[in-house]
Amino acid sequence: MIRLGVPSKGRLMEQTFDWFAARGITLSRSGSDREYAGRVQGADGVSLVLLSAGEIPRELAAGRIELGVTGTDLVREKLAGWRSDVTEVASMGFGHADLILAVPDCWRDCENLDDFAAIARDFRAAHGFRLRIATKYHRLVRAWLAGHEVADYQLVDSQGATEGTVANQTAEAIADITSSGETLRANNLRILAEEPILRSQATLFVGRGALEEVRPFLAQLGVAV
Amino acid sequence: MIAKRDKQAIGQRFLQAFREAGAAEVAPDILLPAGTLLDLYGEDIRARAYTSTDPLRGEVMLRPDFTVPVVQMHMAGGAEPARYCYLGEVFRKQDPGEERPAHPRDNEYLQVGFELFAHDPQADAEVFALFHKLMAPYGLRAVTGDMGLVMDAVRALPLSQARCDALLHHVWRPGRFGRLLARFARPVTPRDFAEIAAPWAGMRSEAEMERRMARLKADEDAASLDPVWIARLERMFAISAPMPGALAELSHLADEWPDLAPAVGRVGERARMLSDGGIAPETILFDASHGHRTMEYYDGFTFSFVAEGRAGWPPVATGGRYDALTAVLGRGGRAIPAVGGIIRPGLVAELEVS
C-alpha cells in the first residue's frame, strides 16, 4: 500500500486535490470536514493520509508515508541532510512563497545584506547584545547568514505573528515566508534587496526507500523520475 | 573501535604531563549557561552545541569547549601567572546541510588542555614547546600563524579609522573581509537615502541610523585604497613555508611595508625562542592565513598539529592566543593575556593503534 500524505486543511489541501484531479486521481475527505480520513479514487493500492504540512517531512523520513505533498521550505528546515531522506519528484506550481529577511521600513540606510551586516555590528556595540532576528526557520536562516558571513546577530524563536515582533521590540528584523509581501508592508517592514533565502513551493516528495514501489503510480501521474 | 576507557587513559597521560608543566587541574561544569556562549560566539555556536532548557536557569548548553569556563574560573579569582589543565568530554553536533555524511563525526569526544594566563613574552613559546614535545612521537605537521601580524597589517593600511575598524571586526571572516577590501579599493558611490514615510519602529533608534548615515557620508571623501596594498596583503596571506623561509619572505615584505616590521620582528623573536628551546624552526610551518580561517578571538600566535593523510580529521592538537576573548568575557574590557591549547586524545588513540 502506498500512503500519500497531503496537508489536511486550507488552500494547500484544495490545490493538492486539484493537482491530482487534473491527473485523473480523485482525492477526497471521507465523512465530515472535521475528520482527517481520506479516500483515493482512480488508483489502486494508494491510501490518503491527511496530515499537518509541517509533519509531512518527518513522516516521509520515518517511512510512515511513501509519498507526501509539502513545501520545500518545510523539508529543508526540518530535515537535516534532506536529500538523504527524500527525493523531490514534482514541483506542483502552487503554494509559492519566499523565505526572506525583512527590516523596518524606516531604516533608510539598509538596502542590502552588506548594510545589514554593518548595522548589526553597530547595534551590538550600542546595545551590548546581538541584533535579534525573529524566525521559525532557524536552520535555513542560520545557514544562509553563515554563508554570507554575517556576524553580530542572534535568532529569536517566533512561531507566529512574526511581523509584529519589531514593533513589540522583541526583535530588530524578521526572517519569514511571504508570498505577496502584504503583511510585511502592513507592519512597516521591507524585504532586503537580495535573492530570497529560499524560493519555496508545494512539491511532491518520495521517501528515500519507497522510490521503486511508487514508480508505477508516478508514471500514472505523468511524473518522470 | 577504540574503547572510551583507552582514550581516557591517553588523556590522563597528557594531563599528567600538563601537571608536571606546573598546571593546576580544574574540572569545569559540563552544563554551561547558554547566554555567555551565545553572546561570545553568536549563532554559529547554536549550530554546533547541544542546547537544552532548565525551568529555573533558562537555556543551557552541553560544554562545546573548555575555554570559556576556564577563563571565567580564572577571572573569578585566579592570580597571575596561572597555568590550568583539564580533561573531559566536549559535545558538538554537526548540521550536515543537504546530505547526511556517510561517516558522521563523533558528537562527544575528549579534550585535554592547558591554558596559561601571564604577562610574559615567553608564554607563546612555552605553550607551543609543551604541545610540540607531547605531539613529537606522532609524526604530525606543525603549522603556526599569527593573527597579530594580520591585524597589524590591516592597521598599517592607509585607511580611515572607520574603514580600519570594519576590517578588523571581520578579520576572522575571509569572505566579508575580502568584500570590504574590494569596496575600499573602488571609488565611493554616494548613497542616496530615499525618504520613507514609515513611522519609526523597533529598538534601533533614529539617532543610531543618523550616526551610520553620517559615517557613510564622511566615507564618500575617502580615497580609494591603492591596489598595491591589496596585492601586498594577498602576498602576506599567501606566505606558507617552513619558518626560516617564511621569515625571509616577511622581511622582504616589511622592506616595502615598514609598518609591518614590528609584527615581523615578533614572529622572528618567537622563532628564536623556539629554537633556543631545541625546536628546529625549519620543521615548523608558518602559514600567514592560519588564524584568518579559524576560530574568532584568536588574535595572536596560533598553532595546530595536523595528521597528514587523514582526510576529514580536525587537527590532533590546536591552540593559540586569545586575549580578545578575555576582553569580551571580562565585560569592562579587562583583557588578560591568555594562550592555551587542546589535544584530542581520541585521535591520538587512533594514531597509536595504526
Domain of B34, CATH number, reads 3.30.930.10
For residue A191, the chain B residues in CB contact (below 8 A) are none
Give yes or no for A146 touching B (CB within 8 A): yes
Considering only CB atoms, B193 lies closest to which of A104, A108, A166, namely: A108
B43 has a chain A CB within 8 A of its CB: yes
Residues B100 and B174 in one domain: no
Q: Does residue B130 fall inside a structural domain?
A: no
Same domain, residue pair B89 and B176: no
Checking B4-7 for CB contacts under 8 A at 24+ apart, the result is B6/B349, B7/B109, B7/B110, B7/B345, B7/B346, B7/B349
B146 and B105 co-located in one domain: no
Residues of chain B positioned with their CB less than 8 A from the CB of A77: none
| CA–CA dist A130, A122 (Å, integer) | 10
CB contact, 8 Å: B190 with chain A? no
> B202 in a domain, yes or no?
no
Domains and CATH numbers, chain A: 2-96+201-221 (3.40.190.10), 97-199 (3.40.190.10)
Report yes or no on B60 lying in a domain: yes
Overall average pLDDT of the B92-97 stretch = 83
**How much is the average pLDDT of B36-60?**
91
Amino acid identity for residue B235 in this structure: R
Instruction: Give the SS3 label for residue B205.
Output: coil
| Average pLDDT score, chain A | 93
∠ CA(B189), CA(B195), CA(B201), 5° rounding?
115
Q: Is B175 on the interface with A (CB under 8 A)?
A: yes
Note whether B258 and B153 are same-domain residues.
yes
Whether residue B199 lies inside any domain: the answer is no
Contact B47 A84 (CB under 8 A): no
Tell me, yes or no, whether B116 and B154 share the same domain: no
Cβ–Cβ gap A105/B213 under 8 Å: no
CB contacts < 8 A, A to B, total: 117
Residue A171 pLDDT grade (very low, low, confident, very high; cuts 50, 70, 90):
very high
Would residue B329 count as lying in a domain? no
Which of helix, strand or coil describes residue B15?
A: helix
The per-residue pLDDT for B156 is 93
DSSP letter assigned to residue B284: E
Q: Strand runs (DSSP E) across A23-130, as ranges? A: 26-29, 38-41, 46-51, 67-71, 86-91, 97-104
Q: Quote the pLDDT of residue B98.
A: 83
SS3 B110: strand
Does A31 score more than 80 pLDDT?
no
B70 and B147, same structural domain?
A: no
List the end-to-end C-alpha distance of chain A, in Å, as a whole number.
20
Structural domains of chain B, count: 2
Domain holding B187, by residue range, is: 141-192+209-306
Rounded to whole angstroms, the Cα distance separating B13 from B8 reads 9
* Distance between CA atoms of residues A43 and A39, nearest Å: 11
**Is the same domain home to B165 and B24?**
no
Q: Over the stretch B189-199, which tens digit does the pLDDT of each residue have?
A: 999 898 888 89
Name the residue of chain B whose CA is nearest to A173's CA: B202
Pairing status of strand B141-146 against strand B301-306: antiparallel
- The verdict on B108 and B145 lying in the same domain is no
Whether residue B92 is found in the same domain as residue B2: yes
Answer yes or no: is B200 within a domain. no
Of residues B332 and B347, more confidence is placed in B347
β-strand partners of B306: B141
Kindly state the cell numbers that stand for B122: 615567553
CA A117 to chain B, closest CA, distance in angstroms equals 9
Rounded Cα distance, B301 and B95, in Å: 30
Statement to judge: residues B13 and B111 lie in one domain: yes
> Tell me, what's the pLDDT at A32?
65
Q: Determine, yes or no, domain membership for B204.
A: no
B150/B296 same-domain check: yes
pTM of the full structure: 0.90
What is the distance of C-alpha A114 from the center of its chain? 26
Query: Would B294 be classed as within a structural domain?
Result: yes
Chain B residues whose CB is inside 8 A of the A85 CB are: 100
Residues B209, A126: C-beta atoms closer than 8 Å: no
pLDDT score at B260: 93
Q: Are residues B348 and B247 in the same domain?
A: no
pLDDT at B270: 93
Residue B253 has pLDDT above 70, yes or no: yes
Q: How confident is the model at residue B312 (pLDDT cuts 50, 70, 90)?
A: confident
> So what's the pLDDT on residue A35?
62
- Chain B within 8 Å of A199 (Cβ-Cβ)? no
Residue A163 C-alpha, separation from nearest chain B C-alpha, in angstroms: 12
